[in-house]
Chains A and B, each alone.
Chain A
């Protein structure tokens, strides 16, 4: 029996509606226990377990709606995330241009300890649609990713199941190092100072 807990990772998926976040996730996860509440509470939740090196990790995927009325939930949604995935539609330049705003919004709401090193992964979805129609070039996307903290970049097609597995493997890996990044060598033995005897020496050491 293993007593080692599996690493629990919170992954937040952001992006304009219509870019295919949900399909992307559904393509990847174990659907058995997923929820369908996005319209009512602003988010859906999925999970998936996988191996990263010799760690077993469980990913808790938060698929949030972009809608206004759930704006105030941003803090709750983003708080404590181990990785943030920014998704856009390669055929929709507007959704690509929105990435910066999503990233900034996330950093504000999640308030990670070290924003510079917080792991983001960018996913350009819907590459199944013919290359001629692709409005955001791979080069452009990669440049953007490089310029904004060297974010890993993947092109995927949820529909054709292209690139999804690879993307999530990196997401898991980066999230895991974020989760385990600090070795808390704290002193876990807070002592309580108790003076029992009235005749104890006045020395307070």
Chain B
């Protein structure tokens, strides 16, 4: 296998040493402390990573040993990530939303020796299952608040590890450098547990080569450079945020900014206005809903201006999509619309400085992409998965919505006989930990069976139809791809997520999760009385509202593809609930099983 190199380096630690030395005091990351942004330079990043690396070495970490990080995104996450890698260890990111059972699995399955937790809340999850985890030798806590009087042999403040690392580092100067130099592309670097919709999550093994391969995305496929500011808000355990906030900035030098919490993304975005913004479809849908709701109660003049501007924007967008040349009138109309309306919208969203925007990790509705293009935000769709990394990208300036673009150089994509997309690349994953059968199912003769079904056009553009296992075969024998319908439903500001049901059934039905904020707002403006979320979902007016949205979507589909009945999920779900993935998508199989009675009620004669 030919080596995969970024700037002459075949591993992330080598690249990190080289780049941090070059960048010195340039700002690497910012995070708020008590509401004030604090900056950390590349030298700080390096210094902290070294302390952690030496600390772990002092504790006896051997090459290939696993250390886990169980935390929300924060500066220590990345410092620890690199610290573990510099010492030759393997990083296992654990979702802070995981409950005890899942934490236990991720720690036991990976034979984890060292655990890093964010705070006392995450620590308590470990303490509750301490007896089942004899392999864990030490636990370090990033945020020691509330633990001053706490004493435990294995648990310590992260400061203790820094101190240990500083002391061990002075006595063993050059040790980390020599360990890094001995590393190679085949070394295991990270474990990423995929949010398994059925059964326990599987630990995908990612090598150093995988990481370096992902850093090659920029600058050719993604316009990502040292001047970029990015906002870090998706879980770093998830491969997408790891690529965008972990690996790409190390390779290319962008500055990352940590969102304060998942609830403050909108405010943080506004104050930072990042230049490169990656989001999952749910976030883009939320932005769209916010603007349309705001417009629905704007003044008459405001509404008129928005309608006119959007018409001009859509005219231009449609020409761009069709690949036609823009007339002078189009350009002038758009320039005017941008100056008067779109610029403000982009400012409100915090996207006025964004030169690039990308969407990935789930399919997105083409109508949504068209709307964003109309207001001047061209979103590039990416496609990939944990096993493959980011595998295809749309090229800037081409607006072929519905496709996820072409395979990266070094990545081959094919369609298997059953329609499944198979792919292989120089940077693919190395199998699932402890699961040879699962690995053999996914990795067949070197090709990764992605589980997605899709089509390749003559130019090599890939379009994703759906997940293979999600394709619905109705009782009438018709094949239906639910995600297309679901995405159109989610385009409604009142629908946050939807799951189409209909396998082996007479007709399609749907479970819908409403968008709390917008539906509550609608209820309030239309005097629909309700008390809590459940009573809101039960209001006939709200059911009628959603019914209208469903009918609207149905109009665009053939009769068999239309949703004949639907039910609302009347429990307000949070990231801690098993119904949702960490990126807040409904899990189809889990939801279908959990709400079986509700689903059956739609098929009662």
Partners in one complex: no
Which residues of B line the A interface, CB within 8 A?
none
